[in-house]
């Protein structure tokens, strides 16, 4: 079903430039949580935005409805042939200039649609390098980039053979996974026996050398293969540890000083990876490790932005509209939004203790009094709300986001929120 929204012609007034209107199809504009901002950013950058998704138009967030020119509702986003048929039917006469998806599960769908509609951008074989962790690492091995030793396996016997070849400890993960879902560190044969049944539903597993080190991101907006903007964030602790220990309040810190000597090798690796994988235009999210001896090792990369509101961190770190900047990169081939790296931004994700509904939250008033001007966002679930399953979402039961120009002060505040703020669930 096709829903038309009020049509708008939006021109970029920056530097008195007027850019031609571009038709952009945005897959799943209403989900996940930050997709509405990307829809807005595209529209404000001068695009006519068409949405396609399985949500009913009436359930789309208001920001999405204001940003779209039209919306095609499909019964399932995962039937690419049917999506193609319905788009051809409802967008008849509309020439698409770009097809974008910023949600990991839809990256291959976007590539398939580009082929069907003869639209520029990553096609299926190229997109697989950003979804298939084994193919990704093979391509980077060939480019001389340090990756963990790795083997893909599609059977229990294959997993055992791979582990014997690589040696303990190892990491087991889906080759097309996102985040730390279905990811396990295995240190012994007994642990491998225990973990393998948990991965029966995963068709192909990537078995990798475990890299012991600090974990960072390298996130980019890239235009024509050139990096126009980048962000480096630090995971405290690394996600695998955070996903294995319920009591931890995980932190992600977007770093102000991205020119630090200890980050330079990781940044160079990021540039090398973009070049080796021939990424053209859009958002990327890469993760990498820095070992205690200074060696840097590639982790993985996605052809989409990071999740868990890390794009919002970039916004608060640089005081600029990163969503609109991404839209400008697509529509004008330039980032017109001015920005300056002014703050470190820490997000502290909280997990309630207990089960049932959130009954009380302690420590918020004292922490707000101490750090008030530095707190930029508070999404903690209110009392009475059912507790979320911390194993299924990094956002957990909400987060506090704060910022400060000094990294030591940022860490001190983040650790205080992690240790002094408590959420209790009961019932």
Both tokens of residue 327? 């839209």
CA atoms within 13 A on the CB side of 191: 11
What pTM value is reported for the model? 0.91
Query: Can you give the residue ranges of every domain in the chain?
Result: 2-122, 149-209, 343-427
Residue in the structure block whose two tokens are 């007027």: 18
User: According to the model, what pLDDT value does residue 371 have?
Assistant: 97
Cα 332 to Cα 57, 314, 324, 325, distances in angstroms: 29, 21, 11, 10
User: According to the model, what pLDDT value does residue 342 have?
Assistant: 98
pLDDT along the chain (427 residues), means of 10: 51 43 96 96 97 95 96 94 95 92 96 96 96 93 97 93 94 78 90 93 92 97 98 95 93 98 98 98 98 96 96 98 98 96 98 96 95 97 96 92 98 98 95
On whether the CB atoms of residues 248 and 260 are closer than 8 A, the answer is: no
What is the rounded CA–CA span in Å between residue 88 and residue 220?
32
Q: Which residues contact 87 (CB under 8 A, 6 or more apart)?
A: 25, 52, 72, 113, 117
On whether the CB atoms of residues 28 and 35 are closer than 8 A, the answer is: yes
Helix, coil or strand: residue 424: strand
Q: How many beta carbons lie within 10 A of that of residue 168, not counting itself?
A: 15
Domain 2-122 matches domain 149-209 at the CATH topology level: no
Both tokens of residue 378? 């508070």
Q: How far is CA 219 from the centre of its chain?
A: 9
What is the rounded CA–CA span in Å between residue 283 and residue 26?
14
In the DSSP assignment, the letter for residue 251 is: E
What is the rounded CA–CA span in Å between residue 266 and residue 276?
15
What is the rounded CA–CA span in Å between residue 227 and residue 279?
10
On whether the CB atoms of residues 283 and 227 are closer than 8 A, the answer is: no
What is the rounded CA–CA span in Å between residue 283 and residue 345?
20
CATH topology of domain 149-209: Dna Ligase; domain 1 (3.30.1490)
What is the rounded CA–CA span in Å between residue 87 and residue 70?
11
* Omega within 30 of 0 (cis) for the link into 237: yes
Residue 231 pairs in a beta bridge with 219
Q: Are strands 399-404 and 296-302 parallel, antiparallel or unpaired?
A: unpaired
**Of 378, 377, 367, 358, the residue nearest 423 (C-alpha):** 358
**Of 280, 323, 337, 16, the residue nearest 122 (C-alpha):** 280
CATH topology of domain 2-122: Rossmann fold (3.40.50)
User: According to the model, what pLDDT value does residue 18 have?
Assistant: 46
Both tokens of residue 45? 């950058």
Both tokens of residue 11? 């021109």
What is the rounded CA–CA span in Å between residue 90 and residue 96?
13
């Amino acid at each position: 079903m096709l829903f038309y929204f009020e049509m708008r012609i939006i021109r970029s007034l920056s530097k008195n430039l007027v850019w031609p209107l571009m038709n952009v199809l945005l897959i799943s504009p209403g989900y996940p949580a930050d997709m509405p901002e990307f829809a807005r950013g595209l529209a404000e950058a001068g695009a006519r935005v068409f949405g396609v998704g399985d949500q009913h138009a009436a359930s789309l967030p208001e920001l999405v409805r204001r940003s779209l020119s039209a919306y095609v509702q499909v019964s399932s986003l995962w039937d690419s042939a049917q999506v193609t048929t319905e788009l051809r039917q409802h967008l008849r006469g509309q020439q698409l200039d770009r097809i974008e998806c910023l949600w990991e599960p839809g990256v291959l769908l976007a590539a398939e649609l580009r082929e069907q509609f003869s639209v520029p951008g990553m096609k299926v074989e190229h997109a697989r390098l950003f979804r298939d962790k084994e193919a990704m690492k093979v391509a980077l091995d060939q480019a001389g980039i340090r990756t963990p030793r790795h083997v893909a396996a599609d059977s229990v016997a294959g997993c055992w053979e791979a582990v014997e070849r690589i040696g303990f400890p190892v990491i087991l993960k889906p080759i097309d996974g996102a985040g730390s879902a279905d990811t396990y560190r295995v240190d012994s044969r007994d642990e491998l026996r225990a973990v393998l049944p948990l991965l029966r539903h995963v068709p192909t597993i990537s078995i990798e050398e475990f890299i012991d080190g600090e974990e960072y991101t390298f996130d980019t907006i890239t235009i024509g293969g050139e990096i126009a903007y980048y962000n480096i964030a630090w995971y405290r602790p690394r996600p695998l540890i955070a996903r294995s220990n319920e009591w931890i309040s995980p932190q992600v810190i977007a770093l102000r000083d991205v020119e630090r000597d200890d980050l330079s090798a990781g940044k160079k690796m990021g540039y090398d990876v973009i070049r080796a994988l021939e990424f053209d235009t859009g958002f990327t999210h890469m993760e990498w490790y820095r070992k205690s001896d200074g060696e840097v090792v590639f982790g993985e990369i996605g052809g989409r932005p990071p999740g868990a509101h890390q794009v919002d961190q970039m916004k608060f770190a640089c005081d600029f509209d990163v969503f609109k900047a991404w839209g400008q990169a697509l529509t004008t081939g330039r980032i017109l939004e001015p920005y300056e790296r002014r703050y470190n931004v820490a997000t502290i994700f909280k997990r309630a203790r207990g089960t049932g509904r959130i009954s009380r939250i302690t420590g918020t008033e004292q922490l707000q009094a101490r750090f008030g001007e530095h707190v930029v966002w508070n999404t903690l679930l209110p009392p009475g709300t059912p507790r979320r399953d911390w194993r299924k979402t990094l956002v957990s039961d909400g987060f506090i986001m704060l910022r400060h120009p000094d990294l030591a002060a940022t860490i001190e505040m983040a650790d205080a929120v992690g240790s002094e703020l408590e959420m209790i669930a009961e019932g």
